[in-house]
Amino acid sequence: MHLFFLKYLTLTLELFKKIGFYTGLFMDKLFYLYCNEQIKFLVDKKHVHILFDFNHWLQMMMNRILLAILCPLVLLSPLITADNRYASLSAADVANEVVQEFVYGYSAYQQYAWGHDELLPLTSSYVDYSSGYSTLWTPIDALDTIYIMNLTDLAEQTKDLICNFSFNINANVAEFDMTIRLLGGLLSAYHFSGEVEKCLLDQAIDLGL
């Protein structure tokens, strides 16, 4: 097999020379072709020499085998930990933890980005996507969830922000996001409000027009 490969590679190099597809490296100098940085094919004008470091190769293979064993354990460990952590909790306890995490994240938005599209948590700042104008991506996107979680005070604050907002801006917008996040968010928030907060429906109609 090695002899066949050497002959094939040598013939290939000779073909390169004949058709003029070569550089100074092929004609005047030695060069290396690397295979996994362990097997080197040293090529000169006429010969190919294989330099093979068995100890290096063995270490490389052992590392790969160890990696193949450890990777599944590392990837699955959060799932195993989560299962053990929540095994003694009721569904209500787990739901309460979800609500607490939501409130924690949304409170950061209220503190650093209230009235803007999204919070940039690493810099405690915000971003507005519609040509620098806010279209309230986060509060509109979150209001139906707030209603589902029965966070009454938070729902009232967010609803007031949305209902007093004007979409009368001249800006380039992402049509897809406008449809699924804003129009969809307003309609679903109106639904989960028990269809009593008509201002949300009015805002959806205004946005759609």
> For the chain, which residues make up each domain, given as ranges?
2-52, 91-208
Q: How far apart are CA 196 and CA 192, in angstroms?
A: 9
Which residue has better confidence, 68 or 191? 191
Query: Average pLDDT over the chain, rounded to whole?
Result: 78
Q: How far apart are CA 45 and CA 25, in angstroms?
A: 10
- The model's pLDDT over 105-129, given as tens digits with 9 standing for 90+, comes to 999 999 999 999 999 999 999 999 9
Total-model pTM: 0.60
Tokens 């354990």 locate to 73
The predicted pLDDT at position 91 comes to 86
What DSSP character marks residue 29?
S
Percentage of residues of the chain with pLDDT beyond 70: 64
For 121, half-sphere exposure in the C-beta direction (CA atoms, 13 angstrom radius) is 6
Which residue has better confidence, 65 or 108? 108
Beta strands in the chain, from DSSP E residues, in sequence order: 31-35, 39-43, 48-52, 118-120, 125-127
Which residue has better confidence, 9 or 175? 175
